[in-house]
Amino acid sequence: MLGLIILFSFLGGVVSLVGGLVLLKKKSWSQETMLVMISFAAGVLLAVSFSDLLPEAVEAAELAGKKIGSLFGVTLLAMAGFFLFERSFVWFHHHHEPHGDQPKPVVAMVWLGDTLHNAIDGLVITAGFFVSAPVGITTAVAVGAHELPQEIADFSLYLANGVGKGKTLLLNVLSSLATVATAAAAYFLWDKIAIWQPEMLAFTAGMFIYIAGSDLIPELHTEYRRKRALVQSAAFGGGILAILLMGKLFGV
């Protein structure tokens, strides 16, 4: 199992850098393409949360004799916690430019926040694999889906703040490796933290729902053009459908 955890945490974390690498080669990245990616990612995150993570959290809680109602409190805590975290660190997940009179992001703080987020991603991927390989894989897919547009945003933010291309790439690689590191650490410490598996799954669902509802979907409402809206809606539905088909395929 360790091999699968490392492989998919790598795919969910480091491989998402491909979007940033494309940006380094092509500065005029299409905003329309970016919004399609965001739409797909939002669909994936919501589908994984409601079709995989929350049902598995309930089932794990029942097996452990825990109160199911408390899990939804954990989901709410995750959503509130990420809101406060973003407010504190001025952390823009998917915004290429500051809006209105928002303060200019500080590179160090953005990197710190991104690294912590990636570390949490590694933990939740491992928690998914300890439910089953299919749940671990779909969780890693959800991580990768939302990390891809985020990495593009991070690259553009660093470049806009005068960070060189080489340093920008290095900062993002180091940040993404946190996913692999915490995934492996969680595997070796699982005997001590396994009791919290239901809560970890519920927390992950809250994190994904927050990212989709607060960071991703609002980006799609900044402008309305009928043709663009139809494409984005199709991508959103495609993200949901992709996870549901994976669930059928893997028997999740």
pLDDT of residue 159: 72
How many whole angstroms separate alpha carbon 179 and alpha carbon 199? 19
How many whole angstroms separate alpha carbon 172 and alpha carbon 174? 5
pLDDT of residue 29: 55
- The phi and psi torsions of 223 (rounded to 5 degrees) equal -150, 145
47, 244 contact by CB (below 8 A):
yes
End-to-end CA distance of the chain: 17
* Segments of the chain with pLDDT less than 70: 13, 15-16, 19-20, 22-31, 88-106, 109, 153, 157, 160, 223-224, 250-252
pLDDT of residue 104: 47
26, 211 contact by CB (below 8 A):
no
